């Protein structure tokens, strides 16, 4: 017997009714919540798809106030490396800078610089006591690559350092006075505590709305599934400094996802966890009951998604958002609207329906920052965009 659960609506079915306003566009405040503890300055996050989000796009989006989710269609090491690249890009104070030993060779140091993309390394002994610093200037014209770092580094007595807790003004004054771009932070025993670069200060000034953690580093998320190897992937992502974990499947209201959330919450009580996707209030509530910090809503609304065609399953997105929001009322758990965002007006409709932010894929695919090779076809440039099973 045919049973219609409810009349349901999607973005194209509705328009927002205008009303009197005293807010000017440039004064609008777009701050919102991603999870219970993480705030965004714009309500936009990028889809965890292999043609949408890797480190470069995640960096760019975080600088504008959103957050990117590194896709899982790569090895554990590659995904962790992408997370680490975002965390180290604009670091404020780098609390765990890459260091070298005084006995390391110049060749090894050059290889490390090529691998990481930067060339300034504090030099520390076995007890993490600072003994010097070696920079690109020291390495540039050296021909004897077997020399130890200690032969070229700036020695301890010539270093410019600051103590923990030094103010921004004090640090910038020292940089200007000594014409240097890096300052090392030490404690009273001269143990290395951090590295500060002028580039990070400049980046912070040019992007005041960037989404950052408590240490001034850009925020980044990463997606995982529920299959074999997930524990190892989560461990590597947490070690790399991921801010929020997305347990990402096409059917979030399934026992495998519920069990994975519960297990991850037990292992990492303080880790921010998002899970999805669901399309009903019951699905949202089931995930909330096992400890998620946000719920992602949307089964099949994406521009490239074939779930509804292949399986016949789904709920029109606007109604799915509204039902999830209603089910989570009073819990403080944000709702993320994932999929179906074709125009900027769809973002507004999703937010009015109760979503805290939207996840977009096709809007960002093909951009300069998105992964993929640029292809020339009939005089026009393209990047590939494809669906990605979760």
Share of the chain above pLDDT 90, in %: 63
Q: Quick check: 60 and 369 in contact, CB under 8 A?
A: yes
Question: Per-residue pLDDT averaged across 256-275, rounded?
Answer: 98
What is d(CA 159, CA 177) in angstroms, rounded to the nearest whole number?
Answer: 13
What is d(CA 191, CA 185) in angstroms, rounded to the nearest whole number?
Answer: 9
Contacts of 312 (CB under 8 A, 6+ apart): none
pLDDT reading at 327 higher than 80? yes
pLDDT reading at 201 higher than 80? no
For the ranges 20-29, 63-72, 192-201, 366-375, the one whose mean pLDDT is highest = 63-72
Give me the pLDDT at residue 390, please.
55
Nearest-CA neighbor of 292 among 35, 48, 34, 32? 35
What is d(CA 50, CA 42) in angstroms, rounded to the nearest whole number?
Answer: 23
What is d(CA 237, CA 80) in angstroms, rounded to the nearest whole number?
Answer: 5
| 376, β-bridge pairs | 381
Write out the residue limits of the CATH 3.20.20.70 domain(s) in the chain: 28-90+209-382
What are 98-152's pLDDT values in tens digits? Answer: 899 999 999 999 999 888 877 789 999 988 899 999 988 888 888 888 999 999 9
Give me the pLDDT at residue 211, please.
97
Count of H-run helices and E-run strands, the chain: 12, 19
pLDDT reading at 1 higher than 80? no
* Ranges 29-38, 56-65, 258-267, 309-318: which has the least confidence: 309-318
What is d(CA 95, CA 381) in angstroms, rounded to the nearest whole number?
Answer: 41
Question: Per-residue pLDDT averaged across 247-267, rounded?
Answer: 96
Q: Quick check: 301 and 384 in contact, CB under 8 A?
A: no
The confidence band for 287, taking pLDDT boundaries of 50, 70 and 90, is very high
Q: How many CB atoms lie within 10 A of CB 90?
A: 22
What does the DSSP assignment read for 34-85? SSSS-EESSSEEE---TTT-SHHHHHHHHHTT-EEEE-SSS-HHHHHHHHHH
β-bridge pairing 161-163 and 182-186: parallel
Share of the chain above pLDDT 70, in %: 99
CATH architecture of 28-90+209-382: Alpha-Beta Barrel (3.20)
Q: Which residue has the higher pLDDT, 323 or 207?
A: 323
The confidence band for 91, taking pLDDT boundaries of 50, 70 and 90, is low
Given CATH 3.30.70.270, say whether it is the number of domain 93-205.
no
Per DSSP, 282 falls in state H
Give me the pLDDT at residue 265, please.
97
What is d(CA 31, CA 178) in angstroms, rounded to the nearest whole number?
Answer: 39
* Ranges 256-270, 300-314, 344-358: which has the least confidence: 300-314
Whole-number average pLDDT of the chain: 91
Write out the residue limits of the CATH 3.10.580.10 domain(s) in the chain: 93-205
pLDDT reading at 237 higher than 80? yes
What is d(CA 337, CA 4) in angstroms, rounded to the nearest whole number?
Answer: 24
Per DSSP, 150 falls in state G
Q: Quick check: 58 and 82 in contact, CB under 8 A?
A: yes
Contacts of 234 (CB under 8 A, 6+ apart): 224, 245, 264, 267, 268
pLDDT reading at 92 higher than 90? no
Question: Per-residue pLDDT averaged across 333-358, rounded?
Answer: 97
């Amino acid at each position: 017997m045919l049973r219609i659960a409810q009349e349901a609506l999607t973005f194209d079915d509705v328009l927002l009714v205008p009303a009197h306003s005293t807010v000017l566009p440039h004064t609008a405040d777009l701050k919102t919540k991603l999870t219970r503890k993480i705030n965004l300055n714009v309500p936009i996050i990028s889809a965890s798809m292999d043609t949408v989000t890797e480190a470069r796009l995640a960096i760019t989006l975080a600088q504008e106030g959103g957050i990117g989710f590194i896709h899982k269609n790569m090895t554990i090491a590659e995904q962790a490396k992408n997370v680490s690249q975002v965390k180290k890009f604009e670091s404020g104070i780098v609390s765990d800078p890459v260091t070298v030993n005084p006995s390391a060779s110049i060749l090894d140091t050059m290889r490390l610089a090529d691998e990481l993309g930067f060339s300034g390394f504090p030099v520390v002994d076995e007890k993490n006591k600072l003994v010097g610093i070696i920079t690109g200037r020291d390495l540039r014209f050296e021909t004897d690559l077997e020399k130890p770092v200690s032969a070229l580094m700036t020695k301890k007595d010539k270093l410019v350092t600051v103590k923990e807790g030094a103010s921004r003004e004090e640090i910038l004054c020292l940089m200007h006075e000594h014409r240097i771009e890096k300052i090392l932070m030490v404690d009273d025993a001269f143990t290395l505590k951090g590295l500060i670069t002028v580039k990070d200060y400049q980046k912070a000034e040019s992007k005041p709305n960037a989404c950052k953690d408590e240490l001034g580093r850009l925020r980044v998320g990463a997606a995982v599934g529920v299959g074999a190897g997930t524990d190892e992937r989560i461990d590597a992502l947490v070690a790399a400094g991921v801010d929020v974990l997305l347990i990402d499947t096409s059917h979030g209201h399934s026992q495998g996802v519920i069990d994975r959330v519960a297990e991850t919450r037990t292992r990492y009580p303080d880790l921010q966890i998002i899970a999805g996707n669901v399309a009903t209030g019951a699905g949202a509530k089931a995930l909330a009951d096992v400890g998620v910090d946000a719920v992602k809503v949307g089964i099949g609304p994406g521009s490239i998604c074939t779930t509804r065609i292949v399986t016949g399953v789904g709920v029109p997105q606007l109604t799915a958002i509204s039902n999830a929001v209603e089910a989570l009322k009073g819990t403080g758990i944000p709702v993320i609207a994932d999929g179906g965002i074709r125009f900027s007006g769809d973002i507004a409709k999703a937010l009015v329906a109760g979503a805290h932010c939207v996840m977009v894929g096709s809007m960002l695919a093909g951009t300069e920052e998105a992964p993929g090779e640029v292809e020339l076809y009939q005089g026009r440039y393209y990047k590939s965009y494809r669906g990605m099973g979760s």
